[in-house]
Amino acid sequence: MMKDCLQFLIEPAKKLKIRLKESRKRVKHEKKEPLVESQLFIMELARELNRICQRSSILGHIWTSEDIWPASVCRDFIVEWASVLEKRVQPRVILSDYQNDKPEKKDWKGHLLCMLEAGGECDMGPHKRVIMDWTREMKSRPQPTVWPGEPVLMMLDDLEFQWKRGRLPNLLPAMELILLAVLNADSPVKEDVTKQWLVRKQRSQKIDAVRYIPHSVWNWICDAADDVTLDSDSANPDLLISSDEKRMRCGLEHREVQQSHQRFNGWWCAVGQEGYTCGRHYWEVEVGERDWRLGVAKASAVRRGFRSLNTDTGYLTLRLERGSDLKALTVPATMLSQSVVPRKVGVYLDYEQSQLSFYDVEKRSHLYTYNEKFTEELYPLFGTVEVVKDLVIRPADLRQPCLCPGPCLWN
């Protein structure tokens, strides 16, 4: 038994060492940077998952070096998933026990680590072994393959298509989806993996977690669409609200209105008429080219005056300043990429998952997610300084075409 376990650990390491040598030889002729060991490890993992997950041919792009992730991305991926998998893997070899029982062979560990860390990544060996143990455990079962289900396969096809078009920098989202599908097959409580994938990515990576959201997941988000309307009684007196309570902009004259603690009298903001204490809710907003803010306000948040509308004062928002500075108003503020300033913003609240997410609707891409435990009523929040163009609440339209370059798979 001990011999079999050692053989399992050593053989993949030998393969990685061989591939590392081959990579270094190849780049001498091609004048490219050689692959580091974590990159080769991801390639080997893609091959193993391809064997476990039926019809996961998408991973062939990784195994055959068509899709090579940056070394830092590979390292982060290995550490993250080792943390997830170590709770599911029973160690096959306890190193300390083996060293005590076989003192004459105690150098085998150093030899194995030398192979596992051939790229000089001496801190990655334990994480890689956890993943290797898990793949071995899967392959040793009576039914070593997993059928991921048609929704997952459709989503993988979508991700592959977008990667080939250049809308995804790599196939990391596909690898994560397959890992979740394999783990879900072994779970006593079955979950919808496509939805679990979105929640997980937005929780582990708050900014730009998904540069392209697959069609099936986007539909699921839009299925939570609400008919959000503006609460005129909460609007700053300088704001003009349309009769259908779907549009607002700043007026040129100050209106005389009844004052109350529910009305904003500093910032040019208004909230929605309905607050939420449970469920999923989604709304879309056409924003102007000048300053705007969107998100939610907690029921206890103070609306009077010019105090900062950030997480410390009960507001979870995104704000655009000077036409290009997009930020999440955390404390301190979190700057977002200037290249992602959207024209239409989708706001998605999942109360039970404690997530408030923002999307660029036209690109169907993720902007930012607040992960915070919700304990009180949350109201949609809207703010603008635009005096010419309206800030407009629009109904979610699944048939709206994707405005990215090139032909779209779903149009």
Q: Are residues 308 and 265 in the same domain?
A: yes
Tally the domains of the chain.
2
Q: Are residues 103 and 149 in the same domain?
A: yes
Q: What angle do CA 348, 350, 356 make, to 5 degrees?
A: 55
Is the pLDDT at 68 greater than 50, yes or no?
A: yes
Residues 8 and 36 in one domain: yes
Residue 204 domain flag: yes
Say how many CA atoms lie within 13 Å of 30 toward its Cβ: 10
Query: Which of 32-46, 113-127, 227-241 has the lowest average pLDDT?
Result: 113-127
Distance of CA 224 to CAs 149, 350, 358, Å?
A: 24, 9, 14
Residue 348 lies in a domain: yes
Report d(CA 250, CA 359) in Å as an integer: 25
- Shared domain for 297 and 385, answered yes or no, is yes
Q: What is the pLDDT of residue 55?
A: 84
The secondary structure element, H or E, covering residue 108 is: helix 108-116
110: Cβ contacts below 8 Å, ≥ 6 apart: none
* Separation between Cα atoms, residue 146 and residue 254, nearest integer Å: 65
Lowest mean pLDDT: which of 142-146, 172-176, 394-398? 394-398
Work out the percent of the chain whose per-residue pLDDT is above 70.
81
Domain boundary among 208, 232, 261: 208
Dump pLDDT digits (tens) for 97-154. 333 444 444 444 444 444 444 456 777 889 999 999 999 988 888 988 999 999 999 9
In this structure, the answer to whether residues 95 and 159 fall within a common structural domain is yes
Q: What percentage of the chain exceeds 90 in pLDDT?
A: 63
Per-residue confidence band for 406, with pLDDT thresholds at 50, 70 and 90: very low
259 residue type, one letter? Q
In a domain, 298, yes or no: yes
Q: Is the pLDDT of residue 210 over 80?
A: yes
pLDDT at 9 over 50: no
Contacts 24+ apart (CB under 8 A), 19-27: 19/43, 19/44, 20/118, 20/119
pLDDT band of residue 197 (cuts 50, 70, 90) is very high
Residue 398, token pair as written in the block: 């699944």
pLDDT for residue 93: 43
DSSP 314: T
pLDDT recorded at residue 288:
76
277 with 362, same domain?
Answer: yes
Burial of residue 205 (CB within 10 Å: 0-12, 13-18, 19+) is: middle
For residue 308, what are the domain limits?
A: 224-394
pLDDT exceeds 90 at position 31 = no
**What's the rounded Cα separation, in Å, for the pair 43 and 170?**
13
Does 169 share its domain with 54? yes
Reported as a pLDDT band with limits 50, 70 and 90, residue 20 is low
**Mean pLDDT calculated for residue range 330-347:** 90
Please write the tens of the pLDDT for every residue from 366-383: 999 999 999 999 999 999
Q: Report residue 236's pLDDT band, with 50, 70 and 90 as the boundaries.
A: very high
Together in a domain, 185 and 306:
no
Sheet-wide strand order for 280-286: 239-241, 247-250, 391-394, 280-286, 344-350, 355-360, 365-371
CATH number of the structural domain spanning residue 322: 2.60.120.920
pLDDT at 27: 43
In a domain, 410, yes or no: no
Please indicate, yes or no, whether residues 193 and 302 belong to a single structural domain of this protein.
Answer: no
Whether the pLDDT of residue 5 is over 70: the answer is no
> Poorest-confidence range of 123-137, 224-238, 245-259?
245-259
Average model confidence (pLDDT) for the chain? 84
Average pLDDT value for residue range 214-239? 95
Closest CA to 21 of 129, 111, 119, 122: 119
Please determine, for residue 7, whether its predicted confidence score (pLDDT) is greater than 80.
Answer: no
Same structural domain, 270 and 194? no
HEC letters along 160-209: HHHHHHCCCCCCHHHHHHHHHHHHHHCCCCCCCHHHHHHHHHHHHCCECC
> Does residue 214 form part of some domain?
no
What's the pLDDT at 89? 66
Tokens of 282: 């989604």
218 pLDDT exceeds 60?
Answer: yes
Q: How far is the C-alpha of 237 from the C-alpha of 250, rounded, in Å?
A: 9
- Dmax over Cα atoms in the chain, in whole Å? 90
Q: Does residue 342 sit within a domain?
A: yes
Please enumerate, as own/partner, the contacts of 403-409 that have beta carbons within 8 Å and a separation of 24 or more. 403/362, 403/363, 404/167, 404/362, 404/363, 404/364, 406/165, 409/158, 409/161, 409/162, 409/215
Q: Average pLDDT in the 27-53 region? A: 81
CA–CA gap between residue 120 and residue 36 (Å, rounded)? 8
In this structure, the answer to whether residues 31 and 106 fall within a common structural domain is yes
**pLDDT > 90? residue 196:** yes
Same-domain pairing of 76 and 204: yes
pLDDT of the residue at 256 = 74
- So what's the pLDDT on residue 115? 45
The answer to the question of residue 402 being in a domain is: no
Query: What tens digit of pLDDT does each residue of 291-313 get?
Result: 999 999 999 999 999 999 999 99
367: left (phi over 0), alpha (psi -120 to 50) or beta: alpha
Q: Is residue 399 part of a domain?
A: no
